[in-house]
Amino acid sequence: MATSAKYIFVTGGVTSSLGKGIVSASLAKLLQARGYQVTIQKFDPYLNIDPGTMNPYEHGEVFVTDDGAETDLDLGHYERFLNIRTSRANNVTTGRIYNNVITRERNGEYKGKTVQIIPHITDEIKENVKKLGESGDYHIVITEIGGTVGDIESLPYIEAIRQMRYEMGASNVIVIHLTLIPYLATSGELKTKPTQHSVKTLLESGVQPDILVCRTEHSLTKDIKAKIALFCNLAPDAVMESIDAESIYDVPLLLRKENLDTVVLGKLSLPAAGEPNLKSWKNFLTKLKNPQDKVTIALCGKYVELKDAYKSISEALVHAGAHQELKVNIRWIHSEDINETNVERMLADVHGLLVAPGFGNRGIEGKIISIKYAREQKIPFFGICLGMQCAVIEFARNVLGLTKAHSIEFDAETPDPVINLMENQKQVTQLGGTMRLGAYPCTVRKDTLAYEAYKKVNIRERHRHRYEFNNAYMKRYEEAGFIASGVNEENNLVEIVEYKPHPFFIGAQFHPELKSTVEKPHPLFMAFVQASYQKKQDQRRNNNE
Ligand code: GLN
């Protein structure tokens, strides 16, 4: 393995939300498919140490890595595209950069010097980039800079890029700038001016981009590319389009057509012979685009207005569906909208119910009502984290007769705390990074749905929660057919539950969605989609009889 990695920075211009994460992941995929070891890192220019304390409406989903970091959802895209694992080092925020520098200052490590943005903050940024490159694990490190060039927050990052390029040379450090070419429908024109301005802003900070990737609704003509190239000091082949795609998984192939990978490798003086091996990627896409049938799955959660809050779950359903040549239609159900009166109307025609993770009381009763319906109507049910905890509460109240059962997260006074606070969580007062986080081993019991899905006993899954199944109630649950099919033996924690008399009723205390990738759909999602499709076929049969 090469010891000196090459670095690619991806910056964004004109507006936010252009899909820098997808473009970075797609480029990484193309390079990986050419045999390079690649990783991607994201810098977020906000002051939170990590997104763990942010409301999902602010930030979308929090993606948890194996090593227990709470990170940006773009890391989910990186893992899903590349089928690699990321870690704490792959997501760094301005808050963390400043925190490190200020902690060092308090420890006297700057030996009486004035601590400043340049060089101390920029040095810390560079160190966090090079840490990945110098690990010896990668040929190429892609670093995505969050936000938009021109923002006050981005300045130290752009300066750090300028310095790295100056220090390491243009064949070791390149900059890809992602911009928008807006289309004016009234005049039928694509406009390049915002891109020109955005590149000028970068130039003011001393950074000349090497490649422009232009997001656009309409294909860029040769003339437009030439015009952009002229005004932005680039070779015409370094101006590429990234046209709106039907699926995010099309983007690597679209960027291949633009030669993004070969132009990048050329600039980094790395070999780029032949074609990337995208066989399994293309197989996946073929199945994704040619489903044999469809299945409808209700996703019940309280953040459904913001689809990004459930990104990994919806992608995991896409992966599991595509591998089974099924299109999964998600019916988004707001947990606050569902009640005893309308539950049948909302769920009678779905083939599966997934109850989402979450925090706080809002929408809890709606989740419990939907689970009761799925349990009684034998609709395949999959509960994730809070969804699993709600299944435990529902069962206590409606089957075990513990009518006031609850999680102590929502009712500290409940006589039956079937979901309880972990002993080592009782003293915790700080919010960030203090939950049970990251990958933990789990032992799967044989003769269970979980074992059928995983086909192995020892698994590792990622967690992000404070509360747990209360083992004091285990015996009563098991006697009623509600079993623990996966446990963490070391701490005697229930990790997977199942209701035996039901065709498919399973809850996971961990987040399986975080480990689903294009190449390796998650076994529990595979099993859930399969069971949901089975339900659909049974319904069809019954309707025909
Ligand atoms: N709020 C629950 C807990 O902390 C569940 C968390 C989740 O769904 N991620 O245990």
Q: What is the pLDDT of residues 384-412, one digit of tens each?
A: 999 999 999 999 999 999 999 999 999 99
Query: Is the beta carbon of 303 within 6 A of some atom in ligand 1?
Result: no
498 vs 486: CA distance, rounded Å: 9
396 vs 414: CA distance, rounded Å: 12
What average pLDDT does the chain have?
95
Which position has the token pair 């205390």? 509
Active-site annotation holds for 217: no
Instruction: Give the position, in ligand 1's atom list, of the atom nearest the Cα of 511.
Output: 9
Residue 439 φ/ψ, nearest 5 degrees: -85, 135
Residue 257, amino acid:
K
389 vs 151: CA distance, rounded Å: 42
148 Rama sector, left if φ>0, alpha if ψ -120 to 50, beta otherwise:
beta
Judged against a pLDDT cut of 70, whether residue 320 lies above it is answered with: yes
Query: Is the beta carbon of 506 within 6 A of some atom in ligand 1?
Result: no
CB 484 within 8 A of CB 474: yes
Which residue in the list 177, 463, 511, 522 is annotated as catalytic?
A: 511
What is the predicted pLDDT for the residue at 426? 74
Average pLDDT rounded to a whole number, residues 301-328: 95
**How far is ligand 1, taken at its centre, from the CA of residue 422, in Å?**
12
Select from 523, 392, 528 the least CA-distant residue to 454.
523
Query: Is the beta carbon of 466 within 6 A of some atom in ligand 1?
Result: yes
Query: Is the beta carbon of 70 within 6 A of some atom in ligand 1?
Result: no
Judged against a pLDDT cut of 90, whether residue 23 lies above it is answered with: yes
pTM: 0.94
Query: Is the beta carbon of 173 within 6 A of some atom in ligand 1?
Result: no
pLDDT tens by residue, 340-363: 999 999 999 999 999 999 998 899
Q: What are the distances in angstroms from CA 489 to CA 441, 449, 454, 459?
A: 8, 19, 18, 12
Active-site annotation holds for 511: yes
295 vs 172: CA distance, rounded Å: 48
Judged against a pLDDT cut of 90, whether residue 195 lies above it is answered with: yes
Least-confidence region, from 2-16, 132-146, 313-327? 2-16
Query: Is the beta carbon of 358 within 6 A of some atom in ligand 1?
Result: yes
Which residue in the list 214, 385, 390, 442 is annotated as catalytic?
A: 385
Q: What are the distances in angstroms from CA 186 to CA 141, 179, 219, 223, 428?
A: 42, 22, 17, 21, 58
What band does 209 get if pLDDT is binned at 50, 70 and 90?
Answer: very high
Q: Whats the size of the chain, residue-wise?
A: 545
229 vs 263: CA distance, rounded Å: 14
Query: Is the beta carbon of 393 within 6 A of some atom in ligand 1?
Result: no
Active-site annotation holds for 545: no
| Atom 1, ligand 1: residue with shortest CA distance | 359
pLDDT tens by residue, 32-65: 999 999 999 999 999 999 998 888 888 889 999 9
What b/e readout covers 482-500, taking b as 16+ CB neighbours within 10 angstroms?
bbbbbbbeeeebbbbbbbe
252 vs 281: CA distance, rounded Å: 9
Give the DSSP per-residue string, 70-134: EE-THHHHHHHHH-----GGGEEEHHHHHHHHHHHHHTTTTTTPPP-IIIIIHHHHHHHHHHHHT
User: 3-class SS at 252?
Assistant: helix
**How far is ligand 1, taken at its centre, from the CA of residue 312, in Å?**
16
What is the predicted pLDDT for the residue at 428? 73
Give the DSSP per-residue string, 36-70: --EEEEEEE-SSSSSGGGS-HHHH-PPEE-TT--E
Instruction: Give the position, in ligand 1's atom list, of the atom nearest the Cα of 359.
Output: 1
Q: Which of 424, 425, 465 to mutate to test the pocket of ligand 1 (most atoms within 8 A of CB)?
A: 465
**How far is ligand 1, taken at its centre, from the CA of residue 504, in Å?**
22
User: 3-class SS at 420?
Assistant: strand
Judged against a pLDDT cut of 70, whether residue 525 lies above it is answered with: yes
Q: Which of 362, 408, 424, 467 to mutate to test the pocket of ligand 1 (most atoms within 8 A of CB)?
A: 467
